[in-house]
Chain A
């Protein structure tokens, strides 16, 4: 699937938006395969995939938000808040699993919708509205849980977090499905076209009769919903709901989306790029840990990789302009 992601019809000679991240990803993968024979083992790849599933789900929503030219830095806190909602309902209130899961998704959607209303209706800049969301949702998670972690989740959930289906971890299947449908939404539906149009030019989109405020609200609500789904995965994998869950997800998700070739200015987006960006991040983590490094060194390398991808993307854009 090398479909170019520009909304304009692509020229034959132009490189797809995913070029940068693909080159970086391929280079790291080849290096790790040569350097560490264990890298290719099924066990390692399975750990790698289930480790990024939760952030990948958030990154799918982030792709939509960035496509409109906005940004959502509250997602990590919404993950924490929705996870605590799930934990409180299941563990303390003894709700059934299904109603609790639905309530969790509603909680996340509500957080996203509040962001959306502030941005679309009250015209608060996205970074400010979601900065407030970041503070508020995290505080909400602490208030709701009283700062405690909640364990004692139903076996069905814990099983979902641990087990494989056809050799691939179940959370990874879920993430793949969500990314696939987000891609369909973006490329094959009128909503997707409206989202990209909004990012391209708000004024023109509004004047062509699209209800820009509704599209924007929908995008932020969806981003909140996906944060809640991610919270379910986080909670299942850790078998506990903690108010700290999801800290830093926003940075990783934004990094993945942008590394993938979706410009922060909006108007264009690529879900394939986001998938490749997530994989690149996973490989960086895996590689640095193979070298005996820790989380801090992962960040160091990730920062460099991010700059490299943006630089390659710039080179690609110029080359396409010349062609």
Chain B
């Protein structure tokens, strides 16, 4: 058979199942719900996709190294509250935003440091920091929301701006993964940390950088989400970590690391957001979304299994 035929090449494309699923949902909406394509709805969609997609970009890098970051939602809330409290205290908004981003990067570095320097399992480290960052933010802010943010911050958090920023981050990360030494090192570390180390990759530094990027993405998403809702509060993005991981996995990133693409993770985030919006437009109670999310996650996981088997068979 022609190895480089169009069909064969399509079959080997990682993002294909995710992209097909996304097209399916959008096509179905086109037939059933014309409201889906109203400018207002699309703007809401873009905004939500911007937040979730941003988190998925960072998470994808961490999962590519074979780790996992459960603390993204908590980091989002923490850095949003740090920025929010400084802005309300009268600090200029660019300075306050930078403080939030720095806090997110530091939180990610802390995760990475515990994973690499202390050799603790990522799932436990980030489970612990999820509890600590979230609860710490609650205690430090006294659970008070900061909801009088400056206009520029409100502006960048709404509509198509978070989505555009998400696309910028996504492209940058995709290029880094495919074309830069750092990206190759990330994939190498995820494939086999030992082989990577023995071939001269500074594995610990690569892993730490991935956690820092994840923290940075979370902080940026936090700034946008706080601005979009004009509300920085300790319970922002509660329980989002599972949605983010689901998005990354739906996008075809292998959970054990080494294989996958950031673009896939971005598509995965789009699927989750579009699906949630579709169910909402159809008037289905939010508590019931879970059943459909579960089906999508499983379909993606099974598609990945089939792809692996075909790759092994070929």
Contact = CB atoms under 8 A, between A and B. Distances in A.
Interface of A: 71, 73, 118, 122-125, 127-129, 131-136, 138-140, 142-143, 147, 243, 251, 254-255, 258, 263-265, 296-300, 302-304, 306-307, 310-311, 314
A136 B294 contact: yes
B298 A147 contact: no
B291 interface: yes
B211 to A, nearest CB: 15
Contacts of B256: 125
Q: Is the interface of B mostly helix, strand, loop or mixed?
A: helix
B55 to A, nearest CB: 16
Contacts of B221: none
A128 B298 CA distance: 8
Contacts of B293: 132, 135
A103 to B, nearest CB: 21
12 contacts: A118-B298, A122-B301, A125-B301, A134-B242, A135-B289, A139-B289, A139-B290, A139-B294, A142-B287, A142-B288, A310-B124, A310-B125
A306 B132 CA distance: 10
Contact of B255 (A127, A298, A303): A127
Contacts of B294: 132-133, 135-136, 139
B67 to A, nearest CB: 12
Contact of A258 (B124, B246, B290): B124
A300 B136 contact: yes
Contacts of A136: 290-291, 294-295
A135 B136 contact: no
B32 interface: no
A147 B288 CA distance: 10
B305 A147 contact: no
Contacts of B118: 311, 314
Interface in B30-84: 68
B298 A132 contact: yes
Contacts of B305: 122-124
A264 B127 CA distance: 13
Nearest to A264: B121
Nearest to A124: B301
Contacts of A73: 242
A198 B109 CA distance: 34
A139 B138 contact: no
A135 B123 CA distance: 20
Contacts of B291: 135-136, 139-140, 143
Contact of B127 (A127, A243, A255, A296): A255
Contacts of A311: 118, 120
A254 B123 CA distance: 10
Interface string B274-314: 00000000000101111101110110011001000000000
Given A125-B256, A307-B124, 11 more contacts: A122-B302, A122-B305, A129-B298, A132-B301, A136-B295, A138-B290, A296-B135, A303-B132, A304-B128, A310-B128, A314-B120
Nearest to A265: B121
A240 B166 CA distance: 45
B245 A131 contact: yes
Interface string B118-158: 11110111011111101110110001000000000000000
Q: Give the bracket for the number of chain B residues in contact with chain A.
A: 35 or more
B305 to A, nearest CB: 6
Given A134-B242, A139-B287, A139-B291, A303 B297 contact: no
Given A123-B305, A124-B298, A243-B287, A303 B135 contact: yes
Contacts of A129: 298, 301
A299 B135 contact: yes
B144 to A, nearest CB: 13
Contacts of A133: 294
B219 interface: no
Contact of A307 (B128, B249, B285, B295): B128
A297 B139 contact: yes
A125 B255 CA distance: 8
Interface string B190-230: 00000000000000000000000000000000000000000
Given A122-B302, A129-B301, A302-B131, A143 B124 contact: no
A304 B134 CA distance: 12
Contact of B125 (A254, A300, A302, A307): A307
A142 B285 contact: yes
A272 to B, nearest CB: 20
Contacts of A300: 131-132, 135-136, 139
B129 A303 contact: yes
Contacts of A127: 68, 245, 255
